[in-house]
């Protein structure tokens, strides 16, 4: 895991995860699990165990089953076969985007917390919510006009309030701004329970996870490379699928396809995917330029003189520039991953 250096001063978010009341020796155990929807399995013969201190990031193409696995772990999806055992003392905190729609528009953040703990004093609840940016009138405002990011913060606040010892987070930073993403990553670094995270946010995964698992081709296995090498793996995975699609087209109905027809099919495939491939190339150029600027900023920040009192203003400016570059890099990388997976689907 990477240690987090503060990038923005005066962040409005300051919170930590509560220490779990109890952490069993084994939180969850699955053996020979098949899971999916209807009669279609998405995961097959999955073995999985979660122990205290496990910090796992799930990687894999869209549609491969990452969210399905999280739902199975959270006991939100009935398995088709196999054995699922949850320890009696395991307390799950499960975050998924659909939970934003389950909030009550007519209720305030304070009322949402009171539904979880009717005995808590309103002053204590408001103090707690203030750490998540819900201060003053906002804590007492109906959430019907809240943004996606504000609703995500509220759901996270509700989950953390319940003191889970196992966190299952499916794209928790999708709607969060930079300061909240960093506050969440910092809080997760100090969490003593176990966690499993699905996220396109490489910053979050780098900061919080020390084990990467790959969900692909209905299997769950150890990802053999580093997180930095994942984009290259995904690109090669997409290329392999494209080649397989062309190969399948060649053998359709077991008819021998002439060289002329083969070239036509390949040309049609190239034309079909050209906009996506061009966009990927542009994003790769952007990532390279941003990475070069990041390297220059990091070099300046590695100079001990920059932390002298007389350079305080320059340091703050560099930190702000670094935060903007980090966000630009994360946004471009997220778009690169989404576009690569879109290319995979169209192949």
Nearest alpha carbon to residue 243 among 282, 270, 216: 270
pLDDT at 52: 93
Say how many CA atoms lie within 13 Å of 154 toward its Cβ: 32
pLDDT at 294: 81
- 0.85 exceeded by pTM: no
Largest alpha-carbon pair distance within the chain?
Answer: 77
What is the distance between the alpha carbons of residues 295 and 278, in angstroms, rounded to a whole number? 26
> Is residue 166 classed as helix, strand or coil in its secondary structure?
strand
What is the distance between the alpha carbons of residues 206 and 333, in angstroms, rounded to a whole number? 14
In the numeric block, the tokens 């990477």 are attached to 2
Residue 98 DSSP one-character state: G
Contact 18, 91 (CB under 8 A): no
- Helix, strand, coil proportions of the chain in percent (round to 5)? 55, 15, 30
Q: The tokens of 246 are what?
A: 């062309």
What is the distance between the alpha carbons of residues 253 and 306, in angstroms, rounded to a whole number? 68
pLDDT tens for the chain, 347 residues long, are 555 544 444 556 777 888 888 899 999 999 999 998 877 789 999 999 999 999 999 998 877 899 999 999 999 999 999 999 999 999 999 999 888 888 999 999 999 999 999 999 999 999 999 999 898 899 999 999 999 999 999 999 999 999 999 999 999 988 888 888 888 999 999 899 999 999 988 889 999 999 999 999 899 999 999 988 888 888 888 777 666 655 655 555 445 556 666 677 767 777 777 888 888 888 888 888 887 888 788 788 777 788 788 888 888 888 888 888 878 877 887 788 778 777 766 65
Nearest alpha carbon to residue 188 among 202, 213, 211, 205: 205
Contact 249, 267 (CB under 8 A): no
Structural domains for the chain: 28-224 (3.40.50.300), 230-346 (no CATH)
In the numeric block, the tokens 């409005």 are attached to 12
In the numeric block, the tokens 């919080």 are attached to 208
pLDDT at 29: 96
In the numeric block, the tokens 């299997």 are attached to 219
Q: The tokens of 283 are what?
A: 């994003």
Residues contacting residue 316 through CB under 8 Å, at least 6 positions apart: 9
What is the distance between the alpha carbons of residues 34 and 147, in angstroms, rounded to a whole number? 37
> Is residue 107 classed as helix, strand or coil in its secondary structure?
coil
pLDDT digits (tens, 9 = 90+) for 163-218: 999 999 999 988 888 888 888 999 999 899 999 999 988 889 999 999 999 999 89
């Amino acid at each position: 895991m990477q240690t987090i250096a503060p990038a923005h001063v005066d962040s409005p978010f300051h919170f930590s995860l509560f220490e779990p009341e109890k952490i069993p020796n084994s939180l969850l155990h699955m053996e020979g699990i098949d899971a999916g929807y209807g009669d279609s399995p998405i995961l097959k013969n999955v073995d999985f165990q979660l122990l205290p201190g496990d910090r796992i990031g799930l990687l894999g193409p869209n549609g491969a089953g990452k969210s399905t696995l999280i739902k199975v772990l959270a006991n939100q999806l009935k398995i088709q076969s196999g054995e699922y055992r949850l320890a009696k003392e395991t307390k799950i905190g499960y975050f998924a985007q659909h939970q934003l729609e389950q909030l009550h528009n007519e209720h305030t953040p304070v009322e949402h917390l009171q539904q979880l703990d009717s005995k808590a004093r309103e002053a204590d609840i408001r103090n707690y919510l203030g750490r998540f940016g819900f201060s003053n009138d906002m804590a007492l405002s109906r959430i019907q006009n809240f943004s996606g990011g504000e609703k995500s913060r509220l759901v996270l606040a509700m989950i953390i309030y319940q003191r889970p010892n196992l966190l299952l987070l499916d794209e928790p930073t999708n709607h969060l701004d930079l300061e909240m993403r960093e506050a969440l990553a910092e809080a997760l670094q100090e969490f003593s329970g176990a966690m499993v995270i699905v996220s396109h946010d490489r910053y979050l995964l780098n900061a919080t996870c020390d084990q990467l698992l790959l969900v692909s081709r209905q299997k769950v296995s150890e990802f053999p490379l580093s997180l930095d090498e994942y984009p290259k793996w995904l690109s090669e995975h997409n290329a392999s699928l494209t080649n397989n699609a062309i190969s399948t087209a060649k053998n359709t109905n077991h008819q021998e396809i002439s060289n002329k027809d083969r070239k036509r099919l390949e040309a049609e495939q190239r034309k079909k995917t050209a906009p996506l491939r061009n966009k990927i190339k542009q994003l790769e150029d952007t990532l390279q330029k941003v990475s070069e600027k990041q390297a220059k900023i990091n070099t300046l920040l590695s100079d001990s003189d920059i932390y002298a009192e007389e350079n305080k203003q320059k340091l703050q400016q560099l930190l702000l520039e670094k935060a903007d570059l980090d966000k630009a890099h994360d946004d471009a990388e997220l778009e690169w991953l989404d576009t690569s997976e879109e290319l995979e689907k169209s192949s």
